[in-house]
Amino acid sequence: MRPKVAVIGTGGTIASQGAHPLDVQDYASSGRPILDAEALVAGVPELARVAEVFAVPFAAIPSTAIGWSDWRALVAKIVELEAAHPDLAGVVVTHGTATLEETAYLLSLTLPTDLPVVVTGAQRPFTGLSSDAQMNLVAAVRVAANPASRGLGVLVVLNDEVHAAREVTKTSTGRLQTFRSPDVGVLGHVDADRVSYWRRPTRLLPLAQRFAIQDSEQPPRVDVVYSVAGGDGVAVHAFLAAGASGLVAAALAPGFLTPAERAAMAEAIVTGCTVVLSSRAGSGRTFPTRRYGEEGFITADNLNPQKARILLMLALARTRDRAEIAALFETA
């Protein structure tokens, strides 16, 4: 009996159609619609060889347009599917690659289940010559259907690789091997004969500690300040004026700010804003230092700025206690 896998389509390149097979770059302007989940699954009949796959209507939008309301709806949909299908082996979410890592990380922090959930996308549109869309979808379904995937948290599968949601990031605008886990590497590989796992993620929130996203219509505002040589505090003051409850610094590696940025953020902390130091380097921990710690800065460990923002939004919806938030950045 084949395992049952649900495919939720959210749009993105994997579901996009170019004007012709060589249109693998400007396909958003082709005038052709983004495929919904049903059309996407129907377009890959080979899926039936690996699982009993059924499509779940959701949305067909670019990942640049995905935000909080979509995440809440996606969590609700996955919870609903698990309740309605007791024999469900796993869920695949197809997604645009621009914000794929953010959606995957948010799901890993909020889904109240150990059911395998796999997020996948593509670098070339569904209609492109030598597109990776079809094979990535098949690989994602195989991973979601694999019993060994249960309890590993949300997974990201592209280019025959399995990554942990917390660790993976997009590293290239156009190359097929764009998704990497810079500090720790892949969890496993999807080969022709089997899915092979080499390790398990250790930074995974237990079910009892995950965030109840349905409790928040809108999360506290958190903005990212990108640090550059000569940077001043203008962006910090602007974000505070816009109502930011938290700020994430994409700081100069290994986690330092310019004098003006540091002064502005230290002032923000005094007024009640929570500030987290991440790094713009792309990999590596942001190391805690005494001088920043004494001023109230929290370090993001090795979370990149966009993921640190996700965690800080969720954390601020639960607590404003600095020590509790700092502890989350050490464990989540």
What residues are labeled active site?
13
Distance of CA 301 to the CA centre of its chain: 17
How many Cβ atoms sit within 10 Å of the Cβ of residue 252?
17
Kind of pairing between the strands at 161-164 and 155-158: antiparallel
Please give the Cα distance from 279 to 91 (Å, whole number): 32
Q: 4: Cβ–Cβ under 8 A, 6 or more apart, which residues?
A: 51, 52, 53, 54, 85, 87, 88, 89
Please give the Cα distance from 92 to 157 (Å, whole number): 10
Q: 114: Cβ–Cβ under 8 A, 6 or more apart, which residues?
A: 150, 151, 207
The two tokens of residue 60 are: 């067909």
Which stretch of DSSP H or E encloses residue 311? helix 305-318
Which stretch of DSSP H or E encloses residue 235? helix 234-241
Please give the Cα distance from 249 to 309 (Å, whole number): 9
Three-state DSSP at 219 gives coil
